């Protein structure tokens, strides 16, 4: 029975991870993607754009792994956030993806006591990893993220 549960858990984890990664997606310009997401999505508060250096610091990412980054954050009253990282290669993207997943887990843990109403939003966060771009978007309408990024791909 334990072996069956372990196998099921392994497949569930694989399914969850593969749902977040799209290796066929195009890479995005960090600033253009972040700006487009900020302009088109719904957030619980206004987000402010910060520097690439702030993005690296917040996510604990070595800046040598990326060629550029863009981040929008709020005041902390909500968990709303946009982060886009252009990595130097696919191996760097894997490392950045781990940091993005860690950030999501950190937010979920922190807001579980501070602002539990934000936890469902964090759980439905969109994480996209293409060959060399990693994106995190926590917003009120996560289903729209893919369409916005598709529009960028078509331009």
Domain contains 10: no
Give the pLDDT confidence of 99-147 residue by residue, as tens digits: 999 999 999 999 999 899 999 999 999 999 988 999 999 999 999 999 9
Domain contains 98: yes
Domain contains 26: yes
- Give the pTM: 0.83
Report which of residues 131 and 47 the model is more confident about: 47
Angle at 34 between CA 32 and CA 69, to 5 degrees: 90
pLDDT at 25: 47
Domain count, the chain: 1
E strands in 2-154: 48-50, 66-73, 81-87, 126-129, 133-138
pLDDT at 154: 67
CB atoms within 10 A of CB 87: 25
Domain contains 9: no
Structure letter (DSSP) for residue 139: -
Domain contains 4: no
- For residue 62 the two structure tokens come to 């070595």
pLDDT at 153: 76
Give the pLDDT confidence of 5-46 residue by residue, as tens digits: 333 333 333 333 334 444 344 688 999 999 999 999 999 999
Domain contains 2: no
Domain contains 16: no
How would DSSP label each residue in 24-55?
A: TSPP--HHHHHHHHHHHS--SS--EEE-HHHH
């Amino acid at each position: 029975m334990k072996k069956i549960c372990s196998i099921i858990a392994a497949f569930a984890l694989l399914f969850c991870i593969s749902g977040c990664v799209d290796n066929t997606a195009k890479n995005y310009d960090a600033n253009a993607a972040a700006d487009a997401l900020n302009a088109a999505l719904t957030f619980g508060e206004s987000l402010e754009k910060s520097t690439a250096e702030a993005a690296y610091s917040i996510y604990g990412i070595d800046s040598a792994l990326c060629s550029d980054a863009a981040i929008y954050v709020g005041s902390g009253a909500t968990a709303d956030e946009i982060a886009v990282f252009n990595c130097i290669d696919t191996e760097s993207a894997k490392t950045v993806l781990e940091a993005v997943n860690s950030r999501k887990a950190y937010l979920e843990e922190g807001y579980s006591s501070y602002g539990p109403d934000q936890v469902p939003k964090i759980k439905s966060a969109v994480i996209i990893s293409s060959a060399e771009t990693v994106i995190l978007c926590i917003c009120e309408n996560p289903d729209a993220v893919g369409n916005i990024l598709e529009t960028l791909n078509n331009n």
